[in-house]
Structure 1
């Protein structure tokens, strides 16, 4: 019997470095043969070859490491070099994972999608880039790495708080200068299934791009902190402890990782009561979304199988032998490890057949992909042999889909709804499409590999053939060859999409054609190297070539990308553009380091066929240090410090540039300190974020307080950013027996706490609705009043119970027909607060209109029922169980809406119907002059304001109209554009704005809480002059409300303007911005 076993392998020891106890990698010993044999496997069949002996050489790399104050002593400098076929970063996904056939991505990109094989390799210390030399810098910051062979090396320079990675440094390099950047510290906590901290867990950080391991261990509180590491997003973390299942995680701020005890599933495969030896048992994780092949075991002579080291997930077991098959599911969380799972085999389906072409010739190598319709991510693939034959099975009697593909043939598909026991035959005949074969060459006749060719807007007949061949594109191979299939003959336009080395080309071809010869023109070229301020090449930087003057469309679409072409520097800082037309450009490279982004820019004018060489250098900037602390002066670690660009500081030609880093901020260290290096502007605006805190600019020092920020200047003192604790609501959740519930839902997130405690932060004072849920218990809804921004509200113990059952039917009051797709809400009482999460109890009623809510809290007193075409119906629930309820939904008043222009002709507009006592609603109807009349039936009775916004391009102005809607009957609402009225000329000073909206009437400030994105489409229309003046015409007299929101949504402004009966009002507005978070409900 083959039994899957996992054995934990020792990972090494952590090394302390620097006064902060930063963790640095230890030089690993090569795994022994015994360690390799014991490394846990999941059946990939992939085993790394033994590392080759490291060659010794006579070359060296010499340089100096610099910090803010000059040379740095005591910095550890290490040289590593990847080994082909051995280092993980040098392998592809398909080399390690057989089920990823054809996946040429680097294996590190598959780490998290296939964690099992990844953990096997990482925990057995396989695949790390070999270390060739290591040293520490001298007092003058200098270092020498000796005895290196020829080749390029990755250098790691790691200090007490800073780090730097420099790839592809050639052996023999002299005078290298490395400036350290703020390092990254990865920290978090590891807990067990009972939520208790786990000590002595081995934590391994892996740099994916260069496959280097950094080791650490959790302390008595389960906490770990590893660093400093070179800045970047290129890390994964592996967690392992003897007796626990290992875990692989993507690093996040303040991670909390739970390790699970290994579970075991044992069983027997039987046929008519007799054990079945040599049966294959396949285990698949139903909780996971992965595409892996699962884990297999083979039964012994007594039909027994076993799977070890399983997490507490739901699994599917499939057993097969010859033409027999069995399937069952096992929930490992509730399964008793000692009980046997019995898989009783039944006759199943064997599917076989041949694949041939239209002439009857067999097609060898055709791929048949079998998918279970219920689990499309699980695929079984087989290929045909020399006689075109394939065989699949045994298959369970459930619906399957088959997909048959072969190069230069139409795809074929088949659906199998029912599978009878026994052997079934299914043959396929693949038809041959029309071909276009060609070759791409440059002007010197050299082949052009890796170019993407697309067919421009092919207009085919709407047939299955056309869909089967999509998408119509091809990638040229190493010899420049490409192949395209077409369903029918005709003339087609081929396009070469944005290739960085060739001009965008088009070529007209006629299908079929097997001898297309396409000569690509390089046009003008520009290439060079990007250096930092120390003349060190900068790898991995984005370089963009930008149009000057900017593209014309930018005026109407400021989010459009102005780049003509984009690329990234290679490992030695080099870039290249080709295929350029003559003209003026701006060449720009961007460098990110935490919160700081700086640019190296060079204007450029190119002639036809010119070959320009332009090196770019990043200029040195100034350094700002600071500290983040709370109101009591205690440091706050892990806070994110951001830099905000000055308003309108971005040049127009830079449009479309976005930061590429996942975390565009600098994180504070354990002492709350941070350092921002190479700041390009003399003044910097700083803000800071940390969960449960907000910045208090008035108490911060070292600069001038801003809206929600601090403005610091070059030459100023260190900054101190003071943060205040936000208001919060906390409590303890207990079950019916009074014992703590250790797992429950708080709004939309899962909370796990050994004492059932929860705490949530609220952004502002006001009323908040808290929703708690737990399995088989009634949801509890509480409305909580937070009186000021920092108040802590303690709910004490919140007892949850099974509650009562509420059930019945939703029917149309007039026809008694069931109402499907009705949504039900259970509320404790009329709620006025902002809900922390939606809290509907049942989403939609089925076609028979029935509903059954098994767990309803006794304090929940109302049932709201919503359905399309009906006003919301509210029922009051009596105490105790409520079964057999009949909810009768009545159609509301018939409200017919029409819109006329100033001449009285039907017009196109959006009409909003807002309850006068509820602010802005989401009730919106589109009225068209040539469409049917618009009728609304789901409005509750009450007083409404009807507002119309004209179609884009129209400047018709409509005054709001009061409408009283009864519970039934007919109501006609006609909104007519004004032909006369006052004019407002408005000019707004200050930065660019996300929202500029003028609404008729006095609209409350509270609409900015959740609805600022809807304001522009409700705004009165206006024209904009070249100097930015906005002109509103034909305005109704009375009040009008101006809303402004800054581009970054940090600042808001509201002003009420008096509009006369006629005449012109000129208003010059300089907004006094208030923070968005200070708005009140």
Structure 2
């Protein structure tokens, strides 16, 4: 256990930079690397595409002097440096483009909301852009003193990075003397870089760690097992970027404030080549067309051009689903396809069309200013088109793909309308539409000083005269938004009594009765009450990287409001109604979610201030052991509030599932430490792959079915883990040769040598799938029982064949290249009666109109070919010796 104790919530606004795996050179040329095997941060790495970090600046004549100390006194040999973040650094971009609140949601929300940003951050770090410049560095003398020379005027952040601790101190002015930097206990960030698909480690991968506040970059190379270790680092929130030749550089961002050692897995995607051919509507190669490609999940668009044979290729793409599209220069044809490398793709161009017509009212009069939107018509880099009618009610829009579309028509004082159209069907004449007259409510939204308010959402809800049996006395919600002058028009199909609801950020919602139709309605919105305040740590330092929430404690108030916290720890909530509220700040650290809250009673237009302070709390220590009492290292331990201690105003309960890579890690001796606990008791849960947590056999607390409840003052805590049952076997070919394969039972495991020994994740009936290229997928059912390993012995795989399916036009017999199809192998026997699974394939036909179906048994089978987005289906029998089959179907482009 470390001798020095870290002050609670070490500066949230500053970053840490590990020294265990990076080299610095002081002005005298002395190499003070803490690891002789690590790369220098100041040298260009041979054989890589990375440039060196920025060299120290020496632009001024000022200096900063001081001393570095720890709990025992001055410390020699500590690296001290001065950096300065500006608006161009990565930290500022992180703050502007991805606020901490984005990082506090579920894993799926974080991935969806930040995947594009993470790609951009990976690009910046790879190019060594956005790095905070370092102006000076040195090493402390024997008496712990340091001098930083050559500084320009201004405020700097000082870093002290030693073998046993680290600290960082912002806002030190150049010219300061006698600055004291006190080393605190740091944290280590370690892990492994692996291939995402196979799980194999990637030796020599480059990992760059960046603290999110100050953008100081720190590099380390993974060893021969793909492992890396960085530290000690000052506590903080860190961005990780990993790269390796042949893999795509990737950024990893989690909303966790590190105050304890962590071990992470960084998965990289291997780069592949995506090839294809562009064909014209007649199926001939189309040369000189620009082909666009983008991942379906978002990201940058790449382009290339088709050659004389219509061929194109994209290098350095990863295994993912891509959208590809192209359009002719005269925009008379457009083609699109989906593809997953390394398979090739045929991009078939198809004629497009332009729609035009007239929109009229019920009396046949043309309508000006009708907005027409066409859904499901986005064309790669272009959104679905829109059109607006002119004075004659006429519109023209295009190009449109010959497929289905939904037309939505909107016009003031008229009811919205929509119609679904099949554009690939013959249509004579223009596409004309008729809109019905609406009953409208028109008015103005202003604040209490009479200033018009733009962008206010106004909802109109009709009120029925007699409530129905369900008790619902309203119907038909219509929505509009005020324009730049605060004016709004909201339309309704029916007249009578109703009410308006106006809502806008920083203003109190307003509800008022109206008569439908009416004009001159005035909606006055007041700012209402407000709550503002600050969040600080136990030493009074501002905390910016917290998730701040405002809970309305009234019944059925729903989710809390959120707001960002600035660099000074300040926040504000506006536009509140009178009532009882709770302001809560949360911070996720490894293994513990910390929270501080304060109740607030608000009167109308009151302005309340609160001060949230995270307390030091207590430290809880324990051990993770097996059933014999022997240490179990590498266990992830989580602590959370018991259900009965969750405040009644919170609608979300604790997440005490100890899975994934969260939690505090137990050391080689099984010891773990949880810091800064403030609640009277906590649930403790533990997890390690291949083990089960056994609360009933654990010691030092009160066992529950899935957790151990530990109260203040309890000691001798031991969390017991039991070995999971294991599955063993050897996969061989029909000749008995070991087969590289994938074994899937709950989770998928790559087995390069054919022999496997893996833990079984859960008890009960479990399906087992074994997959090997060129062989039938093996399937069988297992029953997993506690404490009982399963030895499958030798699993002999049966060879499969590849059948090529060619789809031709039933009229012209030309290949239906670029057509999307799905192919399913049919077997009337249920899966439980077959020792193998049959293939299902979905994709686009290539230039020959073909698609390969792997995993077909050497027996007579029926393949069912379906043309996507149509009811066209063709079944074909494939004999036991056939490797090619031809099918004729209707051409979807004709």
- Into which bin does the TM-score normalised by the smaller protein fall? 0.5 to 0.7
Q: Pick from 209, 216, 223: which aligns with 1:219?
A: 223
Q: 1:203 to 1:724 in 2, by over 3 A?
A: same
Q: Pick from 602, 609, 612: which aligns with 1:613?
A: 609
**CA-to-aligned-CA distance 1:680-720 (integer Å, 9 cap, x gap):** 24665533222222345688677787776666676776855
Match of 1:1010 in 2: none
Q: Pick from 515, 520, 528: which aligns with 2:525?
A: 520
CA–CA separation in structure 1 for the residues paired with 2:533 and 2:198: 57
Which TM-score applies when normalising by structure 2?
0.63
Match of 1:241 in 2: 244
Shift of 1:515: 5.4
CA–CA separation in structure 1 for the residues paired with 2:211 and 2:736: 47
Match of 1:125 in 2: 128
Secondary structure of the structure 2 residue equivalent to 1:15: coil
Match of 2:486 in 1: 481
- Gaps of at least 5 residues in structure 2 are 1-19, 25-31, 99-108, 255-261, 466-474, 802-826, 841-854, 860-879, 881-894
Shift of 1:200: 1.7
Q: Tell whether the 8 Å contact from 1:128 to 1:213 is kept in structure 2 after alignment.
A: yes
Secondary structure of the structure 1 residue equivalent to 2:297: coil
Shift of 1:15: 2.0
CA–CA separation in structure 1 for the residues paired with 2:531 and 2:479: 28
Secondary structure of the structure 2 residue equivalent to 1:419: coil
Match of 1:493 in 2: 499
Q: 1:668 to 1:657 in 2, by over 3 A?
A: same
Q: Tell whether the 8 Å contact from 1:502 to 1:521 is kept in structure 2 after alignment.
A: yes
Q: Tell whether the 8 Å contact from 1:638 to 1:667 is kept in structure 2 after alignment.
A: no
Shift of 1:754: 0.8
Shift of 1:240: 2.8
**CA-to-aligned-CA distance 1:965-1004 (integer Å, 9 cap, x gap):** xxxxxxxxxxxxxxxxxxxxxxxxxxxxxxxxxxxxxxxx
Q: Tell whether the 8 Å contact from 1:351 to 1:424 is kept in structure 2 after alignment.
A: no
Does 1:505 find its partner at 2:510?
yes
Match of 1:645 in 2: 641
**CA-to-aligned-CA distance 1:782-812 (integer Å, 9 cap, x gap):** 44564x53x44332322233699xxxxxxxx
Match of 2:342 in 1: 333
Which TM-score applies when normalising by structure 1?
0.54
Match of 2:832 in 1: 827
Shift of 1:570: 3.5
Match of 2:101 in 1: none
CA–CA separation in structure 1 for the residues paired with 2:644 and 2:150: 51
Q: 1:539 to 1:190 in 2, by over 3 A?
A: same
Does 1:622 find its partner at 2:636?
no
Does 1:680 find its partner at 2:678?
yes
Q: Tell whether the 8 Å contact from 1:83 to 1:129 is kept in structure 2 after alignment.
A: no
1:657-1056 matched pairs, under 5 angstroms? 658=653, 666-668=663-665, 671=668, 673-681=671-679, 686-695=684-693, 721-744=719-742, 746-747=744-745, 749-762=747-760, 770=768, 772=770, 777=776, 779-784=778-783, 786=785, 789=787, 791-801=788-798, 825-827=830-832
Q: Tell whether the 8 Å contact from 1:825 to 1:841 is kept in structure 2 after alignment.
A: no
Q: Tell whether the 8 Å contact from 1:824 to 1:842 is kept in structure 2 after alignment.
A: no
**CA-to-aligned-CA distance 1:1001-1055 (integer Å, 9 cap, x gap):** xxxxxxxxxxxxxxxxxxxxxxxxxxxxxxxxxxxxxxxxxxxxxxxxxxxxxxx
CA–CA separation in structure 2 for the residues paired with 1:58 and 1:470: 72
Q: 1:608 to 1:309 in 2, by over 3 A?
A: closer
Secondary structure of the structure 1 residue equivalent to 2:288: coil
Match of 2:590 in 1: 594
Shift of 1:425: 6.5
Match of 1:536 in 2: 541
Shift of 1:645: 3.2
CA–CA separation in structure 2 for the residues paired with 1:325 and 1:516: 49
Q: 1:85 to 1:192 in 2, by over 3 A?
A: closer
Q: Tell whether the 8 Å contact from 2:57 to 2:136 is kept in structure 1 after alignment.
A: no
1:311-326 matched pairs, under 5 angstroms? 311=318, 318-321=325-328, 322=330, 323-324=332-333
**CA-to-aligned-CA distance 1:400-429 (integer Å, 9 cap, x gap):** 455577999876655442437999975778
CA–CA separation in structure 1 for the residues paired with 2:112 and 2:134: 23
CA RMSD of aligned residues (A): 6.5
Secondary structure of the structure 2 residue equivalent to 1:571: coil
CA–CA separation in structure 2 for the residues paired with 1:177 and 1:449: 51
Does 1:306 find its partner at 2:307?
no
**CA-to-aligned-CA distance 1:253-308 (integer Å, 9 cap, x gap):** 75363542422526465687987543233446xxx542568543234567554333
CA–CA separation in structure 2 for the residues paired with 1:24 and 1:569: 38
Does 1:278 find its partner at 2:283?
no
Q: 1:472 to 1:266 in 2, by over 3 A?
A: same
CA–CA separation in structure 2 for the residues paired with 1:506 and 1:168: 49
**CA-to-aligned-CA distance 1:125-181 (integer Å, 9 cap, x gap):** 344566678889999999999968779x99988777988999999999999999979
Shift of 1:596: 3.7
Match of 2:808 in 1: none
Q: Tell whether the 8 Å contact from 2:530 to 2:573 is kept in structure 1 after alignment.
A: yes
Match of 1:290 in 2: 297
Match of 2:651 in 1: 656
1:128-277 matched pairs, under 5 angstroms? 128=131, 183=187, 185=189, 187-191=191-195, 196-205=200-209, 213-226=217-230, 237-247=240-250, 254-255=264-265, 257=267, 259-265=269-275, 267=277, 276-277=286-287
Q: Tell whether the 8 Å contact from 2:220 to 2:228 is kept in structure 1 after alignment.
A: yes
Shift of 1:534: 0.5
Shift of 1:532: 1.7
Q: How many residues align?
A: 750
